[in-house]
Structure 1
Amino acid sequence: MNRIISFPEKNEYPAYAAMYMDYVKKDGSLLTQLMDCLESTNEFVNSLSEKELNFRYAPNKWSIKEILVHIIDDERIYGYRALAFARNDKTDLPGFEENEYTQYADIATRSVENIMNEYKAVRMATIALFNGFSDQALLRMGTANNNKTSVRALGYHILGHELHHIHIIKEKYLTLL
């Protein structure tokens, strides 16, 4: 995990992504951070009770289990975008409706063990994907949901997005239980 993937310039990602970028170290250690996050998230989630995992701090807010599946969905989608852009696919990729994805994910039927096994598999695939990109591929740009972004920015987005949601769980959910 010693490979360096430089932090993207501000023109490599949309303005809304800056909030996610603020959560990550900018020292080029993306792959190490992704692995560290996998371990810390797994440990954190395994420390939660079933009651905590199903808790919603307000009506129409996602449960912690739903947030976890959302993190997985987002990582898969952003990983696909990174693959497409790295391979110089010029297709303008669509956005996705996160609330509908969550609504139709049948999360109530899934155990936390099942969710975390999927999370680990997706994360390891993401690390392998980004580790395989050439330096040139990491700089390629593409358009998704009408936003220009680089391959490396998508990797940092994946990490920052997860860290953002884990922060929300700790700050909003667990303090209101």
Structure 2
Amino acid sequence: MKKSDIQIDPGYYTRYISLVPDTDLNTALAASLQTLQSLDIVQLEPLADYAYAPGKWTLKNVFQHITDTERVFTYRAMMFARKDPQMAPSMDQDVYADNAEVDDRSLADVLAELITLRTATIAQFNGYSDTTLSRTGMSWKTEMSVLALGFTTVGHQLHHLDIIRQRYLQDPPEYSPAHN
């Protein structure tokens, strides 16, 4: 199914979905994996512990955030796909980031985890029929479909890769935290 097949406006999550071209979900997920696999780790690794301002995440934290959030989105998608009537759990991204324990990990390791997860996410969504992709549930305060969660996953990555380009790669590393 394509992005334009999303029937219910997912409110807040539209900000991520709108970043994804109107293509089918499998193509969007595959392209997002290819983007991750093509990242220049040699260029990025020296910036792994760089944060562009006080109180902002390091580059490793940003990639771990993408991973953690994808796990939450795919769990919600599975709940809706399986018609679980419970409210999908929320997440506090700052609590997750504060407890991610990425300081002693290399950026390559953090990125490898995300790539492995994205591969699993692709397998998960490839297993859903159009009927299943159309199922909905409550995500945070918003009703959304399994399909919308798939596109949100891709768009969330696009959003953060854009921030990485703007804030981590274009600006010279003048601020590097001692650990926020």
Q: TM exceeds 0.5?
A: yes
Larger displacement relative to structure 2 (151-160 or 36-45):
36-45
Q: Distance in 2 between matches of 1:151 and 1:49?
A: 33
Aligned length: 172
The residue identity in structure 2 corresponding to 1:118 is E
- SS of the residue corresponding to residue 91 of structure 1 reads coil
Counterpart in 2 of 1:76?
71
What TM-score comes out, normalization by structure 1 length? 0.90
Shift of 1:10: 6.3
> Which of the numbers 127, 138, 153 marks the counterpart of 1:143?
138
Larger displacement relative to structure 2 (37-46 or 56-65):
37-46
Matched, 1:112 2:137: no
RMSD of Structure 2 on Structure 1 (CA): 1.6
The residue identity in structure 2 corresponding to 1:109 is D
Runs (4+) of structure 1 exceeding 6 A deviation are: none
C-alpha contact (below 8 Å) 1:8/1:153 kept by paired residues: no
Q: Distance in 1 between matches of 2:108 and 2:51?
A: 20
The residue identity in structure 2 corresponding to 1:163 is L
Go from structure 1 to structure 2 and tell me whether the alpha carbon gap of 1:170 and 1:134 turns closer, same or farther (over 3 Å shift): same
Counterpart in 2 of 1:100?
95
Q: Distance in 2 between matches of 1:176 and 1:117?
A: 25
- SS of the residue corresponding to residue 80 of structure 1 reads helix
Counterpart in 1 of 2:58?
63
Deviations 1:11-45 (A, max 9, x none): 524321121112111122x2222222222223225
- Can you give the 5+ residue segments of structure 2 that lack an aligned partner in the other structure? 173-180
Q: Distance in 1 between matches of 2:41 and 2:118?
A: 17
- SS of the residue corresponding to residue 69 of structure 1 reads helix
Q: Distance in 1 between matches of 2:94 and 2:167?
A: 19
Counterpart in 1 of 2:38?
43
Go from structure 1 to structure 2 and tell me whether the alpha carbon gap of 1:117 and 1:176 turns closer, same or farther (over 3 Å shift): same
Matched, 1:25 2:41: no
C-alpha contact (below 8 Å) 1:13/1:150 kept by paired residues: no
- SS of the residue corresponding to residue 103 of structure 2 reads helix
